[in-house]
Structure 1
Amino acid sequence: MRALIVALLVTTAPPACADTIAATSRITAVTVYPDGARLTREVSFTAPEAGPHELLVTDMPLDSDPGLIRLVGSKGLQVGAFALRADRLPPRETPLTDAQRAAKADVEAAEAEAVRAQLALEAIQAKVEAAEAQVRFLASFSGALPDGATPETIKAMAGMIGAETLAARQAALAARAELPPAEKSVAEAQERLAKAQAARDALPSADMDYTALSVAVTAGAAGAQTLTVTQYLGNASWQPVYDLNLTRQGGDRLTLDRSVLVTQHTGEDWDGVALTLSSSRPSEQAAPSQLWPELRSIGPEVEPEALARKSLGGADMAMQDAPVAEAAPAPVTAGMALEGDTVVYNYPEPVTVATGAENLRLALDSLDFTPVVKAVAVPRLDRTAFVTARFTNGSDEPLLPGQAMLFREGVLVGQTWLDVIAPGVETDVGFGALETLRVKREMPKRAGGETGIFVSANRQSESALITVENTGPEAWPVRILDQVPYSEQDDLEIAFAASPKPSETDVDGQRGILAWEFDLPAGGKQTITLEQTLTWPEGMVLR
């Protein structure tokens, strides 16, 4: 399809125009999607006269797709055919922004200052070296006395050598005293230069591989004109991230701070653009474990001789006759998708996102909820309870899928993934283990030493004792989850008894899942007994 579009554009290439106007574009607005982005560019140029011209925009990204480009001209500018050109492009100077020009000037000034400081230091070092050389020469003088030397002339010569040596040593010492401040000036100048270079390098770069957009335009009159270019690119994305802080002091409260992570690898920097976002763990366990319904069934009892024959029949026959266990449901994983109305966030300030930026974080807003907080425990699988908060999205917009960091009283306790939460929808979020609430599930011994599970020919019974103990200073509303098997066969009868009786059966429509809810004071203890009995006809086996 793209090849067809390119071919059509080539065959409808701009006609021979009176002149070619080279121009560059400026990205003014960007709309980022979960996968991709829409860039809006403005191309400002001056038409020398009314009539047809070829406008050559020389800074389009190399991977631009002509099928994903839309053009709109200002009033009085008619836009015709256009095409992308990747060869025979005119030379261009690397465009610089005002900030880049200022940074370049700062670097040049710092470089000149560093050179001056280095030259001053070298001049002082030369003075030291000259004075020390003079001292060495005077110290090494061993010439013969002149003819007719008298004591007075010898004394005068010695005095001269001594005076000159002293003067040379004093000059060397004076020059050495100038070295520390000169060396400090060099170090400071080099530090300023390094900072100026770092500031320049941190600015968005306009240097990139590019293609040119050739557009046939017709100006209604000479003068300033504007062409708006809209294009869609890949290699950009955004996703929401959340900080959820659960507090109980002074009343249960859940604060949700929303931010976004923006990533782009489009090959060019977005400098000061109007940004629109359009929708579409510590490693420890942070939420209660999941229980799955347990399906039991009965079938004809297999005689030992039949089992022996099956074993002699080979592995394939054994595999065919072996009972097949019911597969547990696959874990549910969330994808980056939105259900419901589109949500758009307009960032209130201009944003700069350099190409290659990974997860630039931008703050959005904060929402407060009044949650229902409970300590939820699954004694069959866990040895402690977990804090959970159920809240309703009372805002007018859905909360989009994203990673969430979980805090309890300001302390990081885990992380999770939030699926989309539509307005008015309730959601449960786990906030880590509650170590002060210990749970235990035991199967007490029977008379004679049998364990809590007893099996006869056509009957199986099981008893369990669940203990919940609050060792902390705070009272907690507790929810205990356990299970009993269920049957879809009339001949397999399943009965259970619990004390106290469960508050809820078939939790969330899952058959056999039981729940008990009660308040457990500080230092309190609660026990639950659960017994179940399975019976089936003679000649059948339990599966």
Structure 2
Amino acid sequence: MTHDRTTHPTAIPLPVTAATCLEDRAHLERTARLGLAPGTHRLRLGPLTPLAVDHTLRTELGSPDGQVLDARLVRSWEPRPVGPDEADSPLRRRLHELRAAFRAGSAEQQRVAARLALLGQLSEELLREVAEGTGLGAAEPDLWAAELDGLGAEQDEQAERQRELSSRLAQLAAQERQVAAALEETESRPLELRCFLELTVQAEAAVDTVLTVRHLTACALWRPAYRAVLGDGRLRLASDAVVWQATGEDWTDVRLTLSTARSALAAEPPLLHEDRLTLRPLTAEERRTVAVEVREEEIATLGAAGPEPTSELPGVDDRGEVRVLTAPAPASVPGDGRAHRVPLGSFTGRAAAELVAAPELSPLVSEVVSVRNESGGPLLAGPVELVRESGYLGRGELPYTAPGAVVELAFPGSDEYRLVREVVEEQGSAGLPVAGRRSTVTRTVRVHVSRPTAPGVTGEQVVTVRERIPVSEVSAVQVRLHEQSCDPRPAELDAEGIVSWRLPLAPNARRTVTLVYEVAASTRVTGL
């Protein structure tokens, strides 16, 4: 195609061929083939998204015989047409038809109202004529009766017409609201602000070359998502990229790249402010007491209770290292602002399952499935859909997992188990007044685990029960586990205070776990 020098050239299509989605924006690459004659040419390409960032615009010609002299983005305001258009969808055409019918019905209702008002005036004039004629002795009862009957019949007819129109308009208004809501949910609004690329190119000889345009755009982002399918002792974990973009144009069959780079972060170090540290002697009250605070720390362990739901979209967790993922096949992402999943890859590994109960968090028993990350790269943190052979079970959270590390997912367990938790607390004191007395709090936690099963069920299953005890960070407060009073004795106690038991349960069996621990503090301690 050869383009002559013109003042207002016809726009040349400039589609998106590659897209790199960042955490809160996207870098787009567009290409167009140009056939240029010798000389200087002014070209108009597009339309582009009006959200393109002007100062990030970069152009490149694929031939050394051509040179880009000037490139700029030009935006114009084009209001949407009021009436229907040939490119409208059937839903939008239906909306235009309903609005046209409503306007016609409103006009007809106004005409009927004017007719009724006129008939009311005629009725008043006729009654005045009857009164005057009767007073003058020129009565015409037959004529007046016929006129009053005809006028009343027409008033009744117009009033009935007005009621029908009111009912019809109410139905049209309800249908219009429904169609408008459906259109808002299914289709994006056409752009009123349009953007084109105006390019000035100089060619030393006739050349057929490819123009490449790159720029940033807002209203585009991505997040990782996963789908875990468990069956026959193996777990298949599929990685997807959920992409949103509301740039006003569709990305069709583009080379899609996903990056965790944060280009919005400042590249310069923060300013340093003076921070003075001063020493002062303790007051008499501070020397007599030790102030402590009891706080809850969230520990990233799997159990029956999942993470708290949130309406905010979390960021991409890449552990501080930029990760770049590439879609294996061309992807299409409509510009409707909705979530679209793009497959990135999957792997299947042998799964190890364990039944885990956390009675303090939930009365349910979960199945924790472990599999080694064999995807060849890290798994970024994101939501995961949990699926068994029987179907979809729910959603969980997959934490950041390095290559070769173990992935742990908590699948919802069955209702085969029952958990009942009881807590008994006793307060007391110990020690001599001379040596310093200590206040103590002894807590006894009992967890009753039962496995009611249907007739014919055989086989023993092992359930891991997890409880917790406080962890002290100050020497004035001590936490001690009474292992001799625990029944059975715990199988494990980690540094974060998680106590674990492994209970074998036969069908219709019932076991009780008892945990006893003591929190002791001197009388100087306040805040417990």
Please confirm whether the aligned pair reaches a TM-score higher than 0.5, indicating the same fold: yes
> Which residue of structure 2 lines up, in the alignment, with residue 489 of structure 1?
none
Instruction: Please list every run of 5 or more consecutive structure 1 residues that lacks an aligned counterpart in the other structure.
Output: 1-16, 281-312, 486-493, 533-543
Cα deviation per residue 1:332-381 (whole Å; 9 max; x = unaligned)? 88972347974334788743234xx4xx3335679998551322459xx8
> Which residue of structure 2 lines up, in the alignment, with residue 55 of structure 1?
43
Q: How many residues align?
A: 443
* Structure 1 residue 28 corresponds to structure 2 residue 8: no
Determine the C-alpha separation between the residues in 1 that align with 2:96 and 2:463: 69
Determine the C-alpha separation between the residues in 1 that align with 2:392 and 2:369: 19
Which of 143, 147, 156 lines up with 1:160 in the alignment?
143
Secondary structure in 2 matching 1:84: strand
Bigger Cα displacement from structure 2, 161-170 vs 95-104: 95-104
Match runs of 1:312-327 below 5 Å: 314-315=281-282
Letter aligned with residue 391 of structure 1 = S
> Which residue of structure 2 lines up, in the alignment, with residue 299 of structure 1?
none
Instruction: Please list every run of 5 or more consecutive structure 2 residues that lacks an aligned counterpart in the other structure.
Output: 261-279, 301-313, 454-460, 472-479, 519-528
- Tell me if the contact between 1:386 and 1:431 (Cα under 8 Å) persists in the aligned partners: no
Which of 347, 356, 362 lines up with 1:375 in the alignment?
356
> Which residue of structure 2 lines up, in the alignment, with residue 473 of structure 1?
452
- Tell me if the contact between 1:389 and 1:428 (Cα under 8 Å) persists in the aligned partners: yes
Determine the C-alpha separation between the residues in 1 that align with 2:25 and 2:481: 57
> Which residue of structure 2 lines up, in the alignment, with residue 176 of structure 1?
159
Match runs of 1:506-525 below 5 Å: 515-521=500-506, 522-525=508-511
Determine the C-alpha separation between the residues in 1 that align with 2:442 and 2:153: 103
Residues 209 and 318 of structure 1, relative CA distance in 2, 3 Å threshold: farther
- Tell me if the contact between 2:226 and 2:383 (Cα under 8 Å) persists in the aligned partners: yes
Letter aligned with residue 191 of structure 2 = A
* Structure 1 residue 361 corresponds to structure 2 residue 339: yes
Cα deviation per residue 1:305-329 (whole Å; 9 max; x = unaligned)? xxxxxxxx94189999x9999xx99
Determine the C-alpha separation between the residues in 1 that align with 2:330 and 2:387: 28
> Which residue of structure 2 lines up, in the alignment, with residue 343 of structure 1?
325
Letter aligned with residue 463 of structure 2 = P
Cα deviation per residue 1:455-508 (whole Å; 9 max; x = unaligned)? x99xx9x999875421452665224577999xxxxxxxx99976889786686x
Residues 517 and 82 of structure 1, relative CA distance in 2, 3 Å threshold: farther
Secondary structure in 2 matching 1:315: coil
> Which residue of structure 1 lines up, in the alignment, with residue 190 of structure 2?
205
Secondary structure in 2 matching 1:205: coil
> Which residue of structure 2 lines up, in the alignment, with residue 421 of structure 1?
401
Match runs of 1:101-250 below 5 Å: 110-141=98-129, 142-144=131-133, 157-188=140-171, 190=173, 202-208=187-193, 213-218=198-203, 227-233=211-217, 236-241=220-225
Secondary structure in 1 matching 2:141: helix
Compute the displacement of 1:124 (Å): 3.4
> Which residue of structure 2 lines up, in the alignment, with residue 307 of structure 1?
none
Letter aligned with residue 419 of structure 1 = P
Determine the C-alpha separation between the residues in 2 that align with 1:370 and 1:514: 25
Compute the displacement of 1:419 (Å): 1.7
Secondary structure in 2 matching 1:269: coil
- Tell me if the contact between 2:371 and 2:408 (Cα under 8 Å) persists in the aligned partners: no
Percentage identity across paired residues of the two chains? 16
- Tell me if the contact between 2:68 and 2:199 (Cα under 8 Å) persists in the aligned partners: no
Residues 183 and 259 of structure 1, relative CA distance in 2, 3 Å threshold: farther
* Structure 1 residue 352 corresponds to structure 2 residue 334: yes
Letter aligned with residue 400 of structure 2 = V
Compute the displacement of 1:401 (Å): 0.9
> Which residue of structure 2 lines up, in the alignment, with residue 304 of structure 1?
none
Compute the displacement of 1:210 (Å): 5.6
Mark the structure with the bigger radius of gyration.
Answer: 1
> Which residue of structure 2 lines up, in the alignment, with residue 285 of structure 1?
none
> Which residue of structure 1 lines up, in the alignment, with residue 28 of structure 2?
39
- Tell me if the contact between 1:34 and 1:239 (Cα under 8 Å) persists in the aligned partners: yes
- Tell me if the contact between 1:277 and 1:346 (Cα under 8 Å) persists in the aligned partners: no
Aligned-pair Cα RMSD in Å: 6.2
- Tell me if the contact between 2:373 and 2:401 (Cα under 8 Å) persists in the aligned partners: no
